[in-house]
Chain A
C-alpha cells in the first residue's frame, strides 16, 4: 500500500479485459483436452477444467493469494491477505491498478495451471479425488511457485526473470503432470490399443481460443499499457507463428504430411515458450525462440508414447519443456534496450543465465516432488482411479451420469421423485 500510489484508468481498463481473456483460456483448454480424448471421456475431461474454475478460485481467495503475494519469507508468503483481507482498491507498491484487480488477474493464472495438470490423468482418475487434488495443489504447489517467481520470493529476489509464468504455470504444471501420471498410473489399454483423439476440430478450436486468451495472459503481465506489456503482446503473435512453421517442417520431415493436431500443439508450445520471455526479449529474438522451442517439445512428444509413462495429453512436453526453454532463452537474449531491466549472456551479462538456470533446476524438482507427495497422501484416503470396468465404460457415464453425444433413442423419462432413488443403478452395466 504505497503512499501516493495512483490508479491509472487506462491500465485498469486493459487489466480488466486481460483478466477476462485469461479466464477464457480454461474452458478453451477444456475444449482442447476434450478433443484429444476418446468420446466416452469428453465430458469428464472438460469437467476437470471446470473443476479448476471452481476449486482453484475458492482456494485462491481463501488462502492461495495470500501465500503467493503477501510478504512472507523467501519460500512462502504470509497470511496477511487470507480471506482477501486488505485486498482493496488501493494499488500494491509500484502498481497502477487496484489491488483487487491484481488479485483477480493472478487468480486466473492459478485456475488455468490447475486445469493444465489434469491432462496427465484424464480417462482414468476419479472426479472426487481430482477435486481434492485441485484444492491442495493450487495452494501447496502453485501458490508457492508463484511466490518464488512473482511474489517477492527467493528466485525473484536473486534476479531470475519470469515475465508471465514460465516458472509457476508452465514448468509447475508440466513437471507436476509427470508426477501425477506416475502416481495415478497408465490407462488400462495404454500401449495395447490405439487410444485416439476423437475430435480434432475441438483441438484446433481450443488451441485458437487459448492463443486468443494468451494475449491477455502475456500482454497483461506488464500490469499496464506500458512498453513491456505491448512487447509481450506482440511477441505472443510472433513466437507461436514461428513455432507453427517449424512444426510443419518437422511434420513434413518425419511423416511427409502436416498434421492438424500437431499444428494445435505447436500453437500451445509457442505461446508457452514466449510466456516467461515475452516482455524481456526483442521481437526478433522472440521469433527465434518460437523456432527453437519447437524442437525439444516435438522430440518428447514423439518419444513419450513409446515409454510406459502415460502422461496422457503431453503436458510435460507442451508446457514443462517449452516453459523451460523460454526461461533459459531469457538468460541468453534478454536485452536491456527493450526491457529496461536486464541483459542476457548475449548482451554481456552471464549472471542472468545463471539465475535462469537455477530456476530450471529447482522448479521441476519442487513441482514433481510436492505433487507426488500430495497424490500419495490423497491415495491413503480414497482411491485415485476408476476400476477397469468403469474405465472401459467411460468416465462420462460413470462419474457424471451424462454422455457428450447422447442420441435420446431408448431414453425413458423418469418422474423426478424416483429419479434419485438409491436403489437405481447409476452408471450401471452397459
Chain B
C-alpha cells in the first residue's frame, strides 16, 4: 500500500485525470499548491513594482493505492503531466501505514480498492 503524490502543472490536471481514469485508478484527491522546482522565474510588473514570481501554481494529486496499482498510477501521472519543459513536476511515492474507509470501517487493501458497482 502506497501513497502516490504527484505535483503537476495546473494546465495538465485534466490530462492527468483522464490518464488516471484510463488506468482504472479511482479515488483521487487534488489540491492547489504553490511551489518552486527549479524552473525559470517569470517577471511581472505592477505599476512601478517589478517582481520575480518565485512560486508557481501547481496541482497536487494524492492517490492511495494497493501495490499492483503503484506503477500504473505513476505511468498515468507521467503520461498526463509531461510536456518536456522544466516545471512538469514530481512524483513521490511513500509507504502508507494504514487506510480506513470511513463509511464501512474497511481497512487497508479493502479501503483503497474501488467499490465495485
**Chain A residues in the interface with B (C-beta under 8 A):** 189, 193, 389, 392-393, 397, 401-403, 406-407, 409-414, 416, 419-420, 424-430
Contact = CB atoms under 8 A, between A and B. Distances in A.
Nearest to A415: B50
B51 A425 contact: no
Interface string B28-72: 000000101001111111101111111111000000000000000
Contacts of B43: 401, 414, 419, 424-426
Given A401-B45, A412-B52, 20 more contacts: A189-B14, A193-B14, A389-B85, A392-B9, A401-B42, A411-B44, A411-B51, A413-B50, A413-B51, A414-B52, A416-B50, A420-B50, A425-B40, A425-B42, A425-B43, A427-B42, A428-B41, A428-B42, A430-B42, A430-B87
B24 interface: no
A409 B48 contact: no
Nearest to B88: A429
A403 B43 CA distance: 11
Contact of B39 (A410, A411, A428): A428
B41 to A, nearest CB: 7
A411 B48 contact: no
20 contacts: A189-B14, A389-B83, A401-B42, A401-B43, A401-B45, A402-B45, A409-B34, A410-B34, A410-B55, A411-B54, A412-B53, A414-B43, A414-B50, A416-B48, A419-B45, A419-B50, A425-B40, A428-B39, A429-B42, A430-B57
B51 A429 contact: no
A429 B44 contact: no
A414 B86 contact: no
10 A-B pairs with the lowest CB-CB distances in the bound complex, closest first? A410-B55, A419-B50, A392-B11, A411-B51, A410-B54, A428-B40, A412-B52, A428-B42, A414-B50, A429-B87
Contacts of A406: 44, 46
A410 B36 CA distance: 9
A426 B40 CA distance: 9
Contacts of B44: 397, 401-403, 406, 411
- Majority-rule SS of A interface residues: loop
Contacts, number: 74
Given A393-B11, A428-B39, A429-B39, A412 B54 contact: yes
B34 A430 contact: no
B55 A409 contact: yes
B40 A429 contact: yes
B20 to A, nearest CB: 15
B55 to A, nearest CB: 3
A10 to B, nearest CB: 42
A413 B49 CA distance: 7
A347 B44 CA distance: 62
Contact of B56 (A413, A426, A430): A430
Contacts of A416: 48, 50
Contact of B9 (A401, A413, A430): A430
Contacts of B41: 412, 425, 428
A385 B50 CA distance: 27
Contacts of A413: 49-51
**Residue among A389, A420, A425, A430 with the most chain B CB within 10 A?**
A430
Contacts of A429: 39-40, 42, 85-87
Contacts of A420: 50
Nearest to A398: B42
A153 B52 CA distance: 55
A261 to B, nearest CB: 22
B40 to A, nearest CB: 4
Contacts of B51: 411-414
**Residue among B45, B55, B83 with the most chain A CB within 10 A?**
B45
A411 B53 contact: yes
B47 to A, nearest CB: 10
B114 to A, nearest CB: 24
Nearest to A427: B42
B65 to A, nearest CB: 25
Contacts of A392: 9, 11
**Residue among A389, A397, A428 with the most chain B CB within 10 A?**
A428
A429 B9 CA distance: 10
A114 B43 CA distance: 31
Contacts of A402: 44-46
Nearest to B41: A428
Contacts of A401: 42-45
B59 to A, nearest CB: 12
Contacts of B39: 428-430
**Residue among A392, A407, A411, A420 with the most chain B CB within 10 A?**
A411
A410 B55 CA distance: 5
B94 to A, nearest CB: 25
A392 B83 CA distance: 12
A412 to B, nearest CB: 4
A429 B40 CA distance: 6
Nearest to B50: A419
